[in-house]
Amino acid sequence: MFSDRRWSSACSLACALLLVACGRPSKPSDRNPPPTSSIADAGATPADAVAVAIADARPYVRDEEAWDYLATFSDEHLRGTARAEKWLLAHPDRARPELLRCVGQTWWNQITSHAYRLLGVIGHEDDVPVLRAVLMSGAEREAHYAAMALASMPHESAFEALEEGVGSPEPEVTGTSIFALGERGDERARKTIERRLADDLISVRRQAIYALSKLGVEPSRALLEQRVRVETDTGVLGVLAEVLGAAGSP
Amino acid sequence: MPGGVAQKRETDREPDVVAMPEADADQDAADQQVAVRESHEAIGREEVPDEGREESPDVDEAAVSAEDEAASKLQHDLTIEMGGGSHTVTKKDTLWEISEATYGHGKYWKKIRSANPGKVSARRNGHRDLIHTGDELALPLVKVGPRDAFEAMVVNDPALREFADQFAMNDEQLMGMLQQARSTGMTYAQMIDAQRQFYEAQAAERGISAGEYIAEMHGSIGGGTNAGKSTKWAEEVENGREAAWQARFEAAEEKVRTQSRPDVRQAIEEATANGGVFKWNPSKLDALGVVAMGSNWNITVGMDWVEAAEDDVDRVAASVMHEMFGHGAYGAVRAMFVANESFAQLDPEEQAKANPALVSLTFGYWESEIFAELIEFGHDRVDNPTDHAFGVNPSGEDMSDGKTQTHDVRKQLQEAKAGVAPTLLPGLLQGLWRRIQNEERIQDEARAMFLRDVREVLGDVL
């Protein structure tokens, strides 16, 4: 699923970027989360490995105020989160280290998806490599949220990371990257996505059709109609009919 | 006895206690409202640091006073102390009727007789029950059952019956509600009026209108975030995985029902007996960014919950106990009712400035939430995907390692302090405390820490 070489590359990249991204002075703290290195030692998933890279990038000292605001997102009913989000977005330099910490945490909790989302909204280019590393890790859920964060970032590097994701040998990464490119709405991705209409995997073909529907059906109508004639999967045919029907006749 | 005061816990008697905004419009409204609030002024009676957000006090989570520890023991007491004061006898009065009016049933008449030696004479037939016009009879404090207490209190507070009819209550729930009424010393109408006046006073302090104040408080306390569109679930749908997820949910539910710890299984059975179900709504929960939601005895879950359950059923035990059992068992939330009714008393133009869907969540939700958090405490662990009642769990684990919010009980108390009329809050808390004292699923340790937090946030009100 994830080669050692790519794992090392991702970790190195994440480490390097974290050192830049999280430039706050630091000192060891007894409130630091426990060391996560043991996860990697224990044969962790690729996403855990990326988490290790982020966690170990530098000694971490929690910004209590930023953390308190971010922790609000663990409220079962999200009370107070509108105010918290406002503060976090107004203080991106203080929010980002905590958000990155969440992205690299060892288990998924209610904060995590919001952390990815907020990183995307803040849209700091230094975070692109970290998100790219998570995307390329192949861990399905993390990859999806990393891709969506990249989709909302305006930088060229974010676009390139998603295009790279489309070329991943991991079908989950390919699919989620196509999905995110569709959400991003960048016309330059059309050709890349169109090529995936004929992918061997049904899930990738469905994602490609969906992404093209987000970009606009008309420029790809001929290809989509051609696909109708050769497609064998009834589910994909249903999606094609839906997309072409929704777009109306040329 | 009113039909609504049921003998058993019933379902569908209460609005969605979680009261999460159903529509994106509500979320958007909340977001817009939060933008209004910049003031760091105190909310309520004392300064609340940084718009009600808790400072980070260094609290020894295990440290509770001996007094709180002693008061924290389970106490299954379903009585309300009624009486007190006196009654001046008028023509046609009987001890039975005085007892009925005071304690809800005539059978307590001998208590009055005993408390008034020399004022009750014997009849010719030997029955000693004769009272005399103009005499002032002392009415002793008597512990009576909740159904008798209800009958006594509803005489002067007819809205109690409306509430009871609307939310059929078991004895526990009725006892809590009556304790609140008893402790505040107010009728429902007076409580609602006090809360409305509180809205207006808070608004006046800020130089804004009541509706604007409520809207600001939505942003400070009650408003959820606009988490945006449901991308993960949308991708799963595009992948044609809905059926696969449905199957995973069903398997996860079965796993939780059969492999959870015995006390969790028992709680699920009780919730199920009351009509509670596991609901699968990944689209909504993904869009909101929450793991699970509750209403009545139900728990509604999404993909994150299923994945956590697949990983380890104990990871979702806290959410099951919180959403399915905690809120379900608590039942109707009086503070939410008062919040909504007092909001409804404002001028329509003031109501239009706030989001009605968020009123009860903002000003009344704390009551049920504290109860649910205390229920959850016994099952909390560091990898619980949502927040934590206190900084530690029963095993002594430091919950801050879980990278989610700790001290939710304290947060709820601060929100209550910020948003509830000072004349109401102690009484509402005393009713809540009775429920907490009587609930066997709440651990003594949680009760003690709750008392400690109450003292720290609100002072000596219990």
Of the listed ranges A61-65, B166-170, B226-230, B455-459, the least confidently predicted one is B226-230
In which band, very low, low, confident or very high, does the pLDDT at B230 lie, cut at 50, 70 and 90?
A: low
- Cα separation, B417 vs B363, whole angstroms: 10
Q: How many Cα atoms are found within 13 Å in the side-chain-facing hemisphere of A1? A: 11
User: CA of A60 to nearest chain B CA: how many angstroms apart?
Assistant: 13
Chain B environment of A145 (Cβ under 8 Å): 232
Q: Which sequence spans correspond to the domains of chain A?
A: 4-154, 192-250
* Whether A81 and B415 lie within 8 Å, measured CB to CB: no
pLDDT of A19 > 80? The answer is: no
In which band, very low, low, confident or very high, does the pLDDT at B38 lie, cut at 50, 70 and 90?
A: very low
pLDDT at A83: 87
Q: How many CB pairs under 8 A join A and B?
A: 156
* Whether A239 and B238 lie within 8 Å, measured CB to CB: yes
Q: Is A121 exposed, middle or buried (0-12, 13-18, 19+ CB in 10 A)?
A: middle
pLDDT at B402: 67
Query: B421, B197 in Cβ contact below 8 A?
Result: yes
Bridge partners (DSSP) of residue B299 are B278, B294
Q: Which range has highest mean pLDDT (A101-105, A157-161, B8-12)?
A: A157-161
Of residues B221, B386, B402, nearest to A80 (C-beta): B221
* Whether B232 and A84 lie within 8 Å, measured CB to CB: no
pLDDT at B265: 97
Q: Which sequence spans correspond to the domains of chain B?
A: 24-78+186-458, 84-140
In which band, very low, low, confident or very high, does the pLDDT at A247 lie, cut at 50, 70 and 90?
A: low
- Cα separation, B4 vs B213, whole angstroms: 35
ipTM: 0.76
* Whether A71 and B387 lie within 8 Å, measured CB to CB: yes
Higher-confidence position of A117 and B55: A117
Of A18, A94, A2, nearest to A51 (Cα)?
A: A18
Of B252, B273, B388, nearest to B329 (Cα)?
A: B273
Chain A environment of B361 (Cβ under 8 Å): 77, 79
- Cα separation, B267 vs B316, whole angstroms: 13
- Cα separation, B8 vs B125, whole angstroms: 43
pLDDT at B26: 41
Of residues B54, B219, B232, nearest to A144 (C-beta): B232
Average pLDDT over residues B49-56: 42
Q: Tell me the two tokens of residue B198.
A: 């509180």
Q: What are phi and psi of B55, to 5 degrees?
A: -70, 175
Pairing of strands B278-280, B298-301: parallel
Look up the pTM and report it: 0.81
Q: Is B69 exposed, middle or buried (0-12, 13-18, 19+ CB in 10 A)?
A: middle
Architecture of domain B84-140: Roll (3.10)
Cα nearest neighbour of A111 on chain B: B404
pLDDT of A6 > 70? The answer is: no
pLDDT of B39 > 80? The answer is: no
Of the listed ranges A186-200, B71-85, B342-356, B414-428, the least confidently predicted one is B71-85
Of the listed ranges B29-38, B340-349, B384-393, the least confidently predicted one is B29-38
Provide the residue count of chain B.
462
Q: How many Cα atoms are found within 13 Å in the side-chain-facing hemisphere of A234? A: 0
pLDDT at B167: 81
- Cα separation, B251 vs B253, whole angstroms: 5
- Cα separation, B340 vs B94, whole angstroms: 41
User: CA of A3 to nearest chain B CA: how many angstroms apart?
Assistant: 24
Chain B environment of A75 (Cβ under 8 Å): 386-387, 405, 408
pLDDT at B55: 44
pLDDT per position as a tens digit, B89-146: 999 999 999 999 999 999 999 999 999 999 999 988 889 999 999 999 999 999 999 9
Provide the residue count of chain A.
250
pLDDT of B160 > 70? The answer is: yes
Of residues A110, A117, A235, nearest to B385 (C-beta): A110
Query: B67, B262 in Cβ contact below 8 A?
Result: no
pLDDT per position as a tens digit, A95-140: 999 998 888 777 788 999 999 999 999 999 999 999 999 999 888 8
Residue B246 to residues A239, B280, B282, Cα–Cα distance (Å): 20, 8, 10
DSSP A125: G
pLDDT at A198: 95
Residue B396 to residues B74, B382, B384, B447, Cα–Cα distance (Å): 21, 10, 15, 16
- Cα separation, A197 vs A223, whole angstroms: 8
- Cα separation, B426 vs B185, whole angstroms: 11
Query: B299, B276 in Cβ contact below 8 A?
Result: yes
pLDDT of B50 > 60? The answer is: no
Q: Tell me the two tokens of residue B433.
A: 């405390």
pLDDT at A163: 96
pLDDT at B429: 96
- Cα separation, B343 vs B198, whole angstroms: 11
In which band, very low, low, confident or very high, does the pLDDT at B239 lie, cut at 50, 70 and 90?
A: confident
In which band, very low, low, confident or very high, does the pLDDT at A54 lie, cut at 50, 70 and 90?
A: low
- At position B101, the amino acid (one-letter code) is A
- Cα separation, B251 vs B18, whole angstroms: 25
In which band, very low, low, confident or very high, does the pLDDT at B398 lie, cut at 50, 70 and 90?
A: confident
Of residues B34, B238, B319, nearest to A206 (C-beta): B238
Q: What's the mean pLDDT when you consider all of chain B?
A: 84
Q: Give the position of tokens 């919040």.
A: B339
Each residue of B265-300: b (16+ CB within 10 Å) or e? bebbebbeebebebbbbbbbbbbbbbbbbbbbbbbb
pLDDT at A140: 85
Of residues B225, B228, B303, nearest to A81 (C-beta): B225
* Whether A109 and B18 lie within 8 Å, measured CB to CB: no
